[in-house]
Amino acid sequence: DAGITQSPRYKITETGRQVTLMCHQTWSHSYMFWYRQDLGHGLRLIYYSAAADITDKGEVPDGYVVSRSKTENFPLTLESATRSQTSVYFCASSPGTEAFFGQGTRLTVV
């Protein structure tokens, strides 16, 4: 199916564990993004990528790592999860203007 998919949809992990959120798009968009949505903050940019092997920090990058070895994939890794990283995470891709979002991953860190 064409589009952008995130996995898993829901994840519960323990403090200190490493967890990876997956994102895959089929449009071959150059740009990909990770946002987190928290009550009272709207959507905040974590990391972005302009092309394969090109990534950069957004507004709230601390505690996160990304990679983009292929155009279609943009995984987000929490190296050592903390409770403050409990959030809903959205991946998006863009051809350069509007961004198209995945359905989100709800991550709970206990």
Partner 1 sequence: DQQVKQNSPSLSVQEGRISILNCDYTNSMFDYFLWYKKYPAEGPTFLISISSIKDKNEDGRFTVFLNKSAKHLSLHIVPSQPGDSAVYFCAASDYSGGGADGLTFGKGTHLIIQP
Closest distance of CB 15 from partner 1, Å = 25
Q: Are 55 and 66 in contact (CB under 8 A)?
A: yes
- Binding residues among 26-65 for partner 1 as defined by CB under 8 A: 30-31, 33, 35, 40-45, 48, 50, 56, 58
Distance of CA 84 to the CA centre of its chain: 16
Q: Which tokens hold the place of 110?
A: 């206990």
Closest distance of CB 16 from partner 1, Å = 28
Q: For residue 78, give the amino acid letter.
A: L
Closest distance of CB 7 from partner 1, Å = 13
DSSP 24-93: EESS--SEEEEEEEETTTEEEEEEEEEETTEEEE-SS-TTEEE--SSTTB--EEESS--GGG-EEEEEEE
46 or 109: CB nearest partner 1 = 46
Closest distance of CB 69 from partner 1, Å = 18
19 or 34: CB nearest partner 1 = 34
33 or 78: CB nearest partner 1 = 33
Q: For residue 74, give the amino acid letter.
A: F
- Could you list the residues that contact partner 1 (CB under 8 A)? 30-31, 33, 35, 40-45, 48, 50, 56, 58, 90, 92, 94, 96-104
